Chain A
Amino acid sequence: MLSAKDLALDYRTGGSVAHAVDTVSLNVGRGSFVGLVGPSGSGKSSLMYLLSGLKRPSRGAVSFEDRDYANLSGAGLMRLRRRRFGFVFQQHFLVNYLSAFENVMVGAVERDHDTAAYAQALLHRVGLGDKLMKRPYQLSIGERQRVAVARALVHRPAVVFADEPTASLDQATGHEVVNLLADYRRSGGGSLLVVTHDPAMLSDADRVLQMRDGRLMAA
């Protein structure tokens, strides 16, 4: 469904070239849970940006559902991210003047009653059923991240990209967050690509890929 072939991302700094991602090929099947681990600076986040269309590769190709990103315009990639992908980042990035429920609805593509009901259900499922109208500053950090997870899932994305979703959380809360994502995958929602530096978070993953110096290593 999501595949990358000989993917590379170079950064030019002064006269030298740094290879953030170096000739990576990868397939993420429908409904699969792929973990991506590696030390800081190994290129796992950069790989995720390439796979999600947030960045254009220096070389190689990425395609989703047989559509090559190279053939998509910037607007086309944006539409893809908006409609087919979900994102969870290390920080929650909640809009601080909106309630938990409204923040979830920020991720919705259609803003109808069904979506609203689904958003509420998601918030119930992540344990925030009684905090729908709370603002971000009224929630704990873990609760905020759970709202961010609900926001990433509300439009039922085909692929959820999670970039260090547990980095700013304690162990238990981190597990909760990853479990929420895993539940979505288990319930047939879509594929899951989780980037983390903590392999313990990937106990449910189908595959765990190790990255080092921009290259994929055997896990």
Chain B
Amino acid sequence: MTNPLSLWNFYFRNKRKVLPVIGILALAILGVVVTDSLLASARETAYATFGSYQKLILVAPRATRDQDLANPLQDSLMRLHDVQLQVDTLDGPGGITSYYNAVVALPAQVRAQLPAVQRLQVDSANARYYAARLRGDLVPLGDLIFRVQRLQSEEQAFNQLVNQLTQNPNDPRPLITYLQQHQTFLQSVLPDSAQLGRLQLAVTSASADANGLQQSLQAMNRDTANLNSAGQNVANLPLPPSPSATIDQFRSALDRLTASLGSIEQPQPGLDKLLADSAHIPGTALVKRDAYSNLDINLLAGNAQFDLYGIDQPGMTQLLTLYGDRVVAGRLPRQNASEIAVSEEIARARHVSVGSKLGNNVDELDRLPDAFTVVGIIGGPTRLGVIPLDYMTEHYLFERRYQGLIVIPQAGHAQAVHDELQRLVGIPQAGHAQAVHDELQRLVGDQAFRLFDWPYIKAKIDSLIANLDSINRFLILLVTLVLSLVVGLLNNLFFRQRMNEFGLLAAVGYSRWGLIRRVALESFGVTLAAWLLGVGIAVAVLSWFNTVFMVPHGLLMNVFDWNVLALHTLPIPLMVFLFGMGTVGWQLLRLDPISIIERRD
């Protein structure tokens, strides 16, 4: 004979009261598991996306200042015409030449009396010389400006083509027309290395000549002022032309342009030395020049730039070997080709396969320029993306493609290596990779380059997730508190409905602690059932979501993360149980059966 007051009877005879409570709690637990799992997924996916940093250090320029090139060109473009007019004016009627002629025409008697006139003649001769040189300098510079103007109009035509193709992707006619019209044009507009060298010389020369002209004009004015202050006005000598602010501004723009053109030819001065020095750091296994780029991918917690290593062909194979990856479809990119190979997770995330395109033309958030053809899919434990170094360095003269290095420390080296590194860097270091990192940091200094390694990347990811984690924890706390309150109130309501039952049981001799234990077991059963149900539903939902969304998008999710399933969800049932039992238990302890018996309702 079973106890009529058994838990079994209670649950099954009070389904309509118990199930909603179980449902609410289970839903809350489901919510916590889903948000927690997504957060954990975001973290794990981010770790995996940047997993290659676990075995290498990226030495990269501190910033990609594209405006270094763009602004001087624009400045020059704007000021060129002004300078040309200025030089023409200087050289025209009443200009430097006529002034020089006037000085030369002064009688010998005057010259003998005024030695300052000799100085004035020299200065005006210099000014005439520099003005003539500057006119010559401006010819190739004008050609550069012309090319830039054509490139700018070309960009507009290109954007128009992109719009047309976006609107009618199945109509290739605009593309064919564009290619026919612009193929040879593009080849003619883009300068080669030799032209760039000449251009740089012209710019440097123009800058120096502009400076010389300006100084000469200043000297002429100074000479004239000296003559005037001595009260020795010379009849028939006109006022000299004034120094020009326009020329100063132009010169400053030219100086910046000189620096930019230099960096086009040699992107990072000092990179070669850095490459050589890095290779000699004890404990370094491999150093590769890296014309890196990025792909935009979604990490759940926001978009991130997935690093592509722009390395040579042997380097690609070495990199795959280092990580235990392999090409599972297609092949690695060929030399000097706009080709790319990426890990399968990244391919899934970007919905591409062998033959598809990736790059800025496909997704404007990609830093990878143009459109690279996916020629290979990489499989293995670490997510990688590789592009050819030579293509990246030789095809983008006017778009600066910075280069860096990837430095791979040797794994598991002996203590001797550690000691040697410690001696080199001069500070105590815990690990081998850290020592290489610090030695590299010493080499690159604190200006042009910076180092990206796993501790740095991981700290960045953790910092990003930490904010979300805090929000999530706050929400869990809020949900727990609200639920405790709501379910606690429901419990109280339910308890009050059962007051007669407890009053009778206390009156006929059921012990108070027995009643409390009974209510506790009832609550425990409800919260346990809710927890199990919530976790069960959560596992089912996450499994489904993992299959239909996460895996196809290259995102990682651990459906059976017991840390999330067990630990993170427990506060809800625990708090609800404690809060509910606290209030009900308190009322049971204070229960006066006589007041219930005497109630006349």
Residues of A within 8 A of B (CB): 45, 49, 54-55, 75, 78-83, 85-87, 89-91, 93, 95-98, 102-103, 105-107, 111-113, 115-116, 163
Contacts and interface: CB of A to CB of B under 8 A. Distances in A.
Nearest to A163: B597
Contacts of A95: 4-5, 501, 504
Given A98-B4, A116-B1, A89 B597 contact: yes
B508 A107 contact: yes
B13 interface: yes
Contacts of A82: 508-510
A95 B594 CA distance: 17
14 contacts: A78-B509, A79-B509, A81-B507, A82-B509, A90-B600, A91-B597, A93-B503, A95-B4, A97-B13, A98-B4, A106-B4, A112-B1, A116-B1, A163-B597
B509 A81 contact: yes
Interface string B554-594: 00000000000000000000000000000000000000011
B178 interface: no
A113 B598 CA distance: 34
A78 B510 contact: yes
* Most chain A beta-carbon contacts within 10 A, residue among B1, B13, B503: B1
B13 A98 contact: yes
Contacts of B14: 97
A111 B2 CA distance: 7
Contact of B4 (A81, A83, A96, A103): A103
A93 B1 contact: no
Interface string B421-456: 000000000000000000000000000000000000
A86 to B, nearest CB: 8
A75 B512 CA distance: 9
Contacts of B598: 45
A78 B511 contact: yes
A125 B510 CA distance: 26
B441 to A, nearest CB: 74
B130 to A, nearest CB: 108
Contacts of B13: 97-98
B10 interface: yes
A83 B511 CA distance: 12
A97 B505 contact: no
B183 interface: no
Nearest to B510: A82
Contacts of B505: 106
* Most chain B beta-carbon contacts within 10 A, residue among A86, A89, A95, A113: A95
Interface in B497-534: 500-501, 503-505, 507-511
A133 to B, nearest CB: 12
* Most chain B beta-carbon contacts within 10 A, residue among A45, A93, A107: A93
* Most chain A beta-carbon contacts within 10 A, residue among B4, B505, B598: B4
A103 B598 CA distance: 20
* Most chain A beta-carbon contacts within 10 A, residue among B9, B501, B509: B509
Contacts of A81: 507-509
Interface of B: 1-5, 9-10, 13-14, 500-501, 503-505, 507-511, 593-594, 597-600
Given A54-B593, A93-B501, 16 more contacts: A45-B598, A54-B507, A55-B594, A75-B511, A80-B509, A81-B508, A91-B597, A91-B599, A95-B4, A97-B14, A102-B4, A106-B505, A107-B508, A111-B2, A111-B3, A115-B1
Contacts of A102: 4, 9
Contacts of A87: 507-508
A102 B501 CA distance: 13
Contacts of A113: 1
B509 A97 contact: no
A54 B501 CA distance: 16
Given A79-B509, A81-B508, A82-B508, A54 B594 contact: yes
A103 B3 CA distance: 10
Nearest to A53: B509
Contacts of B501: 93, 95-96
A45 B598 CA distance: 9
B10 A97 contact: yes
A149 to B, nearest CB: 13
A103 B9 CA distance: 12
A89 B599 CA distance: 11
Contacts of A55: 594
B9 A93 contact: no
Nearest to A79: B509
A174 B599 CA distance: 20
A89 B505 CA distance: 12
A204 B1 CA distance: 36
Nearest to A77: B509
Contacts of A98: 4-5, 9, 13
Contacts of A45: 598
A45 B594 CA distance: 10
Contacts of A86: 508
A44 to B, nearest CB: 12
Nearest to A86: B508
B5 A106 contact: yes
Nearest to B596: A93
A75 B10 CA distance: 26
B9 A97 contact: yes
A112 B599 CA distance: 34
A176 B105 CA distance: 152
Contacts of B503: 93
User: Which 4 pairs across A and B sit closest by C-beta, in order of nearness?
Assistant: A82-B509, A97-B13, A102-B4, A81-B509
Contacts of B508: 81-82, 85-87, 107
A86 B508 CA distance: 7
Contacts of A106: 4-5, 505
A13 to B, nearest CB: 15
Nearest to A97: B13
A54 B591 CA distance: 13
Contact of B509 (A49, A83, A93): A83
B510 to A, nearest CB: 7
A79 B593 CA distance: 15
Contacts of A116: 1
